[in-house]
Amino acid sequence: MSGAETHRIQMGADAWIVVDWIPPRWGHATAVFVHGMGSHRRGDKALHFADRFAARGWGFLAPDLRGHGESHGAIRDMTFSGLLADLECAMEWASGRTGGEKSPILLIGSSMGGALAAWHTVCHPGRVSGVVMIAPALSFPQILTAKLTHEEIAAWRREGSRRITSRWIDLELGYGLVEDARKYEPQRLVRDYTAPTLIFHGMADDAVPWQGSLDFVQANGSPQIDLMLFKGGEHRLTAQKERLFDCAISWWEGLSRSD
């Protein structure tokens, strides 16, 4: 991520997040990249996007969410509300550093970051000009309990944490994440989400099935939401990162022309 500045943003006496920041050139937009669970601000897609956006004069912001990378806290203690607060803090911080102008925002979220991008947009309508989601876990955090039995959920509550493993992660998650999830009903997201959006999803995704993205697009009904499927793409879509960027830029330019 050439030319990026690294900043530590305080969120109280004992809390902080760390961000990478590339200021936009005058008159250019800013892309904000939100990583997935167990990842960090310098994943392969984030680094690739940072360089390509910067080459176009765009700003680029990539935070480490709490419990991830260099930011404070432990993943075991995270809640969705806390993650949303991290994203809001990062975006507020960046909003005062765009050369004295209001830079259009393209919000990009990967996996869990896609759910955060979606809920941030619902909670702050009109703040971003467009959203790109990559294999979004739109039913997160509820997706974590969807296949568990009542006994398994009760054990999670009783023991306070549960180990979650997959091809991509091996994490200890606290039950507070489940309790906090009650504030974020997927039905509300379907009902209230209206932002111009491009969703990418791989049809070989064994972590977050692509049918969830299709169901969201169909149930929402907004003509401003587009879905692009990659037949051989797995969850991270890292191998497709160049196509993701090219398609996202083409979509954004079309969006801008229609304004």
DSSP 151-199: HHHHHHHHHSEEEEE-SS-EEEEETHHHHHGGG--HHHHHHH--S-EEE
Please tell me which residue, 3 or 199, carries the higher pLDDT value.
199
Whole-number pLDDT of residue 12: 82
Query: Residue 228: pLDDT above 90?
Result: yes
**What is the arithmetic mean of pLDDT over 233-244?**
97
Instruction: Tell which CATH architecture fits domain 5-142+186-258.
Output: 3-Layer(aba) Sandwich (3.40)
- Whole-number Å distance between alpha carbons of 141 and 134: 17
Q: Tell me the domain boundaries of the chain.
A: 5-142+186-258
CA separation for the pair 16, 86 (Å, rounded): 9
Amino acid at 196: P
CA 132/CA 50 separation, integer angstroms: 15
- The pTM of this model reads 0.95
pLDDT band at 96 (very low <50, low <70, confident <90, very high): confident
Identify which of 212, 211, 213, 205 has the alpha carbon closest to the alpha carbon of residue 235: 205
Mean pLDDT of the chain: 94
Q: Is 57 helix (H, G, I), strand (E, B) or coil?
A: coil
